Amino acid sequence: MLSLLRFVFSMFVVLAHLAEDVRFFSHWGVFAVFGFYVISGYLMAVVLNQTYSFNFAAFALNRSLRLFPAYLLVAAATLLAIVLQPGAGDFHIAWGFDPGARDVLANALIVPFEFVEAPFKLVPPAWSVAAELINYFLLWLIIARSRKLAIVAVLLALAFHVLSLAQGAGWEARYFPYYAAILPFALGACLYFFKGSLAALKEGQVKAGVLVASLVWGANLVLCGFLSRPGGRLFDLFFYLNLAALVVIIGGVVILPVRGKPVRIAKIEKLLGDLAYPVFLCHWLVGFEISLYLLDGQKRGLVLFALSVIPILILSLALIGIESRWIVPLRNRIRQGAQGRPREALQGAAI
C-alpha cells in the first residue's frame, strides 16, 4: 500500500507541474511532497533500526545508489535536450539561467541546492531530493535513534512552523527548506516508534480511522482547489490538514495486518512504487519534449499532462530496467552485508 501511495503522490506532482496553470491542481504537488516525506521518515526509521543498525557507511552508500544513478541519467539527458533544442528556458525558468560554478556543483551533488543560490537546475525537483538527503542524515544522526528523540524532533519542528506562521512568513518558508521538512520526516519516524502501541487498537478501529482520514484528505484536497491555492487565503489550514490526514492514513496502513495478496497484485504494487522516483525525476524533460514536438511549444495544461503520462511511464520503466541490471545487485549486496534484513523494510518499494 505504501508503494501505491508513493506512485499516486508522484503523479500528483506531475499533474501539478505540467498543468500548473489550472488553479484547481496548483497545490497537489505541494501536498504530495509532504506525503512522500512522511513515508520516507517511516521507512528510513525502519531500515536504520532493523537493517543497518545505524551503520552509516552502508546506509549512506545504499541511499546514494538508490537516488543518484537515475538522477544523473535524467540530468544528462536534460542537459542534452537543453543544448540541442530551442525554447528550454521558456518552458522552465530553471533552464533559462547561465550556469555558474555553484550551479555545476549543486547539480552534480544535489545537497548544495539547500545551501547555495543555484537557480539553474537540470532536474527542477532536485531541491526536494536535497531536502530528503539532509533529512536522511538527521534521521541517522538523531531523529531515528529513539522514540524520545523522534518526539523532540516533532516538537521542535512544530515550534518552527508555529513561529513562522506567527511572523507572517510565506508558505514557502514552511515547505522548501530542509528544516521545514523535518516535521513530516519526524512524524514518519514516530509512526515507526509508536507502531507497537498503535497495533493494540482493534483492526476495525484502525480501518475506520483510515477511512475517515481518507475522506478528510480527499475533501481537503478538493476544497483547497476551489477555495485557495499556494499562498492564498486559508492555504496554511489546508496544508496542515493535509499533513495530519496523511499521517493518520500512513499510520493506519503500516499497522494493519498484512494479508496474503495474489502474487500478481503484489508485483504490480511494487512496480508502481519503483516507478515513483523516476516519474518524479523525468516529468519535466518529457513534458518539454511533448510541448516542443506535439503542442507547438504549449507550456502547461491538462492536454500537456495527458500526452506526457505514457512517455513518462515508458522512460521511467527504462530507468528501472537499467537500475535493475546494474544498480540493484550492488544495493542488495550492501543490504545483505548489513545487520539483519526484515521483510517490513522492503514493503514500501525499493528502499
Q: Note the residue count of the chain.
A: 351
Whole-structure pTM value = 0.95
**Domain residue limits at 123:** 2-346
Question: Residue 194 — φ and ψ, nearest 5°?
Answer: -100, 5
Residue 342 lies in a domain: yes
- Measured distance CA(89)–CA(111) in Å, rounded: 23
Into how many domains does the chain fold? 1
Residue 75's SS3 state is helix
Distance of CA 9 to the CA centre of its chain: 7
Classify 110 in phi/psi space as left (phi over 0), alpha (psi -120 to 50) or beta.
left
- Measured distance CA(112)–CA(120) in Å, rounded: 12
Give me 317's grid cell: 520503466
Residue 300 lies in a domain: yes
Q: Per-residue confidence of the chain (351 residues) as pLDDT tens digits? A: 899 999 999 999 999 999 998 999 999 999 999 999 999 999 999 999 999 999 999 999 999 999 999 999 999 999 999 999 999 999 999 999 999 999 999 999 999 999 999 999 999 999 999 999 999 999 999 999 999 999 999 999 999 999 999 999 999 999 999 999 999 999 999 999 999 999 899 999 999 999 999 999 999 999 999 999 999 999 999 999 999 999 999 999 999 877 667 888 889 999 999 999 999 999 999 999 999 999 998 999 999 999 999 999 999 999 999 999 999 999 999 999 986 544 444 444 456
Structure confidence at residue 199 (pLDDT) = 87
Residue 116 lies in a domain: yes
Give me 34's grid cell: 509532504
Structure confidence at residue 349 (pLDDT) = 45
Grid cell 526484515 — which residue?
Answer: 342
* DSSP assignment string, 98-147: PP-HHHHHHHHHSGGGGTS-----SSTTHHHHHHHHHHHHHHHHTGGG-H
Residue 351 lies in a domain: no
Structure confidence at residue 339 (pLDDT) = 61
- Measured distance CA(327)–CA(274) in Å, rounded: 13
Structure confidence at residue 152 (pLDDT) = 98
Structure confidence at residue 263 (pLDDT) = 84
Specify whether the CB–CB gap between 79 and 92 falls below 8 A.
Answer: no
Q: How is residue 98 annotated by DSSP?
A: P
- Measured distance CA(230)–CA(218) in Å, rounded: 17
Residue 195 lies in a domain: yes
Q: How is residue 100 annotated by DSSP?
A: -
Specify whether the CB–CB gap between 29 and 298 falls below 8 A.
Answer: no
Provide the total of helices (H) and of strands (E) in the chain, helices listed first.
Answer: 14, 0
